[in-house]
Amino acid sequence: MRKTIFSLSTAGLALAGYLIAGGFWLQVGNPEASPEAQKANAVVTLKVAGCHDPATAKVTARAVGTVNGERRSIPLELTKLTTPGMYAVSQQWPKDGKWVIQAEARADDLFTNALIPAYPKGVDHLHAKLDLKPFASSDIDAMLR
């Protein structure tokens, strides 16, 4: 048990050091916190953060899901908000099936991405997964189960 706690503490310190040093990541947010996002009918917001100019980052998203056993991928149109590097994502995928929003951000040689569970009645922004390396299709598959 002690070894596990030490490993988690070391990982937490490494992540904290990365974030303090600047880093590059996506923040997944609740659109209820932004009247502008609500006006755009957002189900989730994405915000580029880190030690760079967020307005210059390229952000893309797609909905990946299964409907009647068939895998589908739908490119999502993001609505740029007035806060630099912040976007609103509205529901552009069918209410049928199971879905995951896969969002990616790039700035020069920096990369970050997020997987966000999506359900017929909304998005679970609290259980989003964030990483600095691309997610594997197995990560998406696991979230779709």
Q: pTM of the predicted model, to two decimals? A: 0.82
90/9: higher pLDDT: 90
Residue type, 5: I
Choose among 103, 84, 90: nearest CA to 37: 90
Render pLDDT for 105-140 as a digit per residue (tens, 0 to 9).
999 999 999 999 998 878 998 899 999 999 999 999
Which of 18-32, 43-57, 78-92 is predicted with the least confidence, judged by mean pLDDT?
A: 18-32
Residues 6+ apart with CB under 8 A from 125: 28, 29, 30, 44, 116
CATH architecture type of domain 23-144: Sandwich (2.60)
Residues 6+ apart with CB under 8 A from 40: 31, 79, 81, 88, 90
Domain range summary for the chain, segments of one domain joined by +: 23-144
Question: Could you give the 3-state DSSP secondary structure of residue 14?
Answer: helix
Render pLDDT for 38-59 as a digit per residue (tens, 0 to 9).
999 999 999 999 988 898 999 9
